[in-house]
A and B are shown apart, each in its own frame.
Chain A
Amino acid sequence: MEIVVLVKQVPDTESLIEIEGDGVSIKKQDIKWVMNPYDEIAVEEALQIRDAQGGAVTVVSMGPQKAVETIRTALAMGADKGIHINDPAAEGSDALATAKILAAAVKEISCDLIIAGHRAVDEDNYQVAAGVAEFLDIPQISMVIKAEVLDGKIKCHRTIEGGTVVVEAALPALFTTQRGLNEPRYASLPGIMKAKKKPVEVKTVADLGVDSAVVGAANRKVKIKALNFPPERQAVKIIEGESAVAKAAELVRVLHEESKII
């Protein structure tokens, strides 16, 4: 089973995000960069499937030089090799262009299964994996909490609002991960040492045969006009009272009579 995992380096979810002076990008210097949490789940699932069925796990990531750290993390967890699409021309690509580039990279590998996070917690686009599946003309199953690889097909439990559905698809296929699928392992020290020797191939957009006129910040279809912080809320009103019961009663009264929320 040849498995490709799509990973992205993103700001840690505990990071404070600040807006750059240009008003359309974020300040990148003081951020702690990590592997997208849903991608960690994807790497873990790929490793478990490989260990059960044999084969290899290739990690594909697009990003600046720094993004190689995330590929190394995946290799330290146990993935076999990495492909790093590192090209200034691709920087600032929107989800559609990113999907085109990743699909072109995956096309060069003969694989049975692609696993990705259901979204990256930076731009929250929920789009790249579906785009990759479309450009490869393979089925997609999103937000998976249980996956079973059967003979020539995959059976996935996916979460929907208020329930789950079980979907089968013929391989090759792509699925995206949701929390609950597994608990990603931590990279062990020997794993980290081994990862240093594992191959990471660096590619450019041109290497992949993708038209540079459709990628990069200048060719975004979804143009960012402005970034803003969420509107400030008014200062909290703390409800005082003699006892917990009195405070609770006053709070509910304010909700009902003053704020008219209930």
Chain B
Amino acid sequence: MAQGVFVITEQRDGVFRKLSFEAVSEGRRIADGMGADLTAVVVGSGIEGMAGELEKYGPDKILTADDPALAEYTTDAYTNVIAGLIQSVDPAVILIGASVQGKDQSARLAARLDAGLAMDCTAIKLDNGRLICTRPMFGGKIFADVEIEGSLQIIAIRPNVMDIVETAKDCVVEKASVNVGEVKTAVVEKSLDTGDKIELTEADIIVSGGRGTAGDFGAIEQLAAAFGGAVGASRSAVDEGWRPHSDQVGQTGKVVSPVLYVACGISGAIQHLAGMSTSKFIVAINKDPEAPIFSKADLGIVGNLAEVVPAMAEEVKKIRG
């Protein structure tokens, strides 16, 4: 009988994604609630030494799936290996981070295992032994409470939402047998942004600019740098060619949940609000006091962002040194 919680972690070039710690912590909480064991798996090449880093988040067992063929993520190799492990561990619940890789991975696994998958969940609740997952739909205009039927449930959690919690546990680390199987895809090139650019979906603070910037993101970048945060943009700013697509926050861009979201010169079209409304704290700066963004904000300034934003950057620098 299927039992226990199984967490699929994610690492890139030997470094765990922060989301992996969120997933293991949440996995521990759910396993405790179900009175079950927690197994975490690390997949990659030359990753055996990484298991120790996961121990403090409380898994009972860590499996390492280490093979040169797993050096770079490919859907087929990873799915073959992880599906094999799942068949032998036979868990009741699989948790995975809903990163780009995690979304791709979990969707393929769900089809392979014929299991229900709740994607991009922002909360998991234990209700009499049953799991109720909350997930945004329609870009966050609606939140659905869903329950997965069947002996295996797959839950992908939204980055940056669930708490990282340390738990002292006796933990066994085991090398898993790896069966890569047939692989029809190959990563032939990888290019990562140079410098210390912070990924939007993982940033604690995001400063976003919209049409109100008139294309000048200098002040936005300054404020983001003062905060140690990332720069985002509205769809109109991206459509104007002022920022790359990868910076777009909204229903047709990235959905973000930072601790602080600062919207500068963004009127707050419903499709933008959909991408940032799960932010913990929202600040809006706009010259139009009627702008819809103010209805979603905690704090607001009605004013010219070209004056307000650089002044904010100076004040933040004073605090942050």
Contact = CB atoms under 8 A, between A and B. Distances in A.
Interface of A: 11, 13-17, 19, 26, 37-38, 94-96, 99, 121-127, 129-131, 133-135, 138-143, 145, 155, 159-170, 173, 178-180, 220-230, 233-234, 236-239, 243-245, 247-249, 251-256, 259, 261-262
Interface in B89-145: 98-101, 103-104, 106-108, 110-112, 114-120, 132, 135-145
Contacts of A234: 298
B83 to A, nearest CB: 10
B104 to A, nearest CB: 5
Nearest to A125: B119
Contacts of A236: 284, 294-295, 297-300
Contacts of A249: 311, 315
B149 A221 contact: yes
Nearest to B272: A13
A127 B76 contact: no
Nearest to B118: A222
A227 B143 contact: yes
A130 B72 contact: no
12 contacts: A17-B141, A126-B107, A130-B75, A138-B184, A163-B193, A167-B185, A233-B282, A234-B298, A236-B298, A239-B301, A247-B311, A255-B260
- The interface residues of chain B, by DSSP majority, are classed as mixed
A164 B145 contact: no
Contact of A96 (B74, B117, B186, B253): B117
B183 to A, nearest CB: 9
Interface string B266-307: 000111001001100111100001000011111111111001
Contact of A168 (B110, B185, B311): B185
B257 to A, nearest CB: 12
B186 A167 contact: yes
Interface of B: 72, 74-76, 98-101, 103-104, 106-108, 110-112, 114-120, 132, 135-150, 184-193, 197, 199, 201-202, 205, 227, 238, 244-246, 248, 250-253, 259-260, 269-271, 274, 277-278, 281-284, 289, 294-304, 307-309, 311-312, 314-316, 319-320
Contacts of B75: 130, 139-142
Contact of A226 (B145, B197, B294): B145
A230 B108 CA distance: 29
Given A159-B100, A165-B190, A226-B144, A123 B300 contact: no
A159 B110 contact: no
A134 B111 contact: yes
Contacts of B270: 13-16
A16 B111 CA distance: 32
Given A13-B271, A239-B301, A251-B283, A164 B251 contact: no
Given A230-B142, A259-B281, 5 more contacts: A169-B184, A173-B185, A248-B311, A248-B312, A248-B315
A225 B185 contact: no
A16 B144 CA distance: 16
A255 B303 contact: no
A32 to B, nearest CB: 12
Contact of B202 (A11, A161, A173): A161
